[in-house]
């Protein structure tokens, strides 16, 4: 699968998911180094089916908190850390589903359960990555396809 196609699918999925579900429009593409510098939360899942691989999301804690508040409709209260983690996992799930459906809508994919990981572990080697500025922090997305058996 060409890397440009994967990159474009990630960008399109991020714009769609972040704006539609989290009311957090992407301000701009961000440099990965910048997106990796702030304290962050991360989640990762394995997928199988048409292609196998790993999908991970790393999001700065500040962006995750405001995104969770948007998602849950909490205007006054700060969401609890467990809720923020649940929202980050759900974000990972939705982004992954959206990216894979864009890459091949005729394939069949099974998504594993997203798990929280150490923010430093989100970036798997050899993954295609994109980062996006959200205004109050950045989100980075990593897609790794396993070699075909």
Partner 1 sequence: MAYSVMIVDDSQSMRKFVRRVMDLSGFEVGSCWDAANGADALALLRTHPVDIILTDINMPEMNGEEFVAELERQDVYRSIPVVVVSTDATENRIRRMIEIGARGYVVKPFSPEALRGELERVLGVANA
- Report the C-alpha gap between 23 and 71 in whole angstroms: 8
> Which of 90, 116, 117, 123 touches partner 1 by CB under 8 A?
90
- Residue linked to tokens 């929202």: 87
> Which of 21, 32, 38, 116 touches partner 1 by CB under 8 A?
21
Residue closer to partner 1 by CB (options 32, 101) is 101
Residue closer to partner 1 by CB (options 27, 107) is 107
Segment interacting with partner 1, rule: CB under 8 A, options 17-25, 35-43, 117-125, 135-143: 17-25
CA atoms in the 13 A half-sphere facing the CB of 50: 12
Residue 64 lies near partner 1 (rule: CB under 8 A): no
| Residue 47: alpha-carbon gap to chain centroid | 14
Binding residues for partner 1, rule CB under 8 A, total 28
Site for partner 1 in 91-120 (CB under 8 A): 93-94, 96-98, 100-101, 104-109, 111, 113
- Report the C-alpha gap between 138 and 60 in whole angstroms: 6
Contacts of 125 (CB under 8 A, 6+ apart): 144
Residue closer to partner 1 by CB (options 32, 117) is 117
Residue closer to partner 1 by CB (options 32, 83) is 83
Contacts of 57 (CB under 8 A, 6+ apart): 42, 43, 44, 88, 91, 92, 95, 122, 139, 140, 141, 142
Residue 81 lies near partner 1 (rule: CB under 8 A): no
Q: Indicate the DSSP class of residue 108.
A: -
Q: Which residues bind partner 1 (CB under 8 A)?
A: 16-17, 20-21, 68, 71-73, 83, 86-87, 89-90, 93-94, 96-98, 100-101, 104-109, 111, 113
């Amino acid at each position: 699968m060409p890397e440009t196609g994967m990159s474009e699918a990630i960008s399109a999925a991020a714009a769609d998911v972040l704006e539609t579900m989290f009311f957090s429009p992407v301000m701009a593409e961000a440099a990965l180094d910048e997106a990796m510098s702030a304290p962050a939360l991360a989640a990762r899942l394995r997928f199988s089916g048409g292609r196998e691989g790993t999908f991970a999301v790393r999001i700065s804690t500040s962006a995750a908190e405001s995104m969770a508040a948007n998602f849950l409709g909490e205007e006054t209260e700060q969401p609890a850390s467990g809720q923020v983690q649940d929202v980050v996992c759900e974000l990972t799930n939705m982004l992954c589903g959206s990216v894979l459906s864009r890459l091949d809508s005729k394939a069949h994919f099974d998504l594993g359960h997203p798990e929280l990981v150490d923010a430093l572990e989100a970036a798997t080697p050899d993954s295609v990555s994109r980062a996006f500025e959200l205004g109050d922090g950045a989100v980075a997305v990593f897609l790794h396809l396993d070699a075909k058996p």
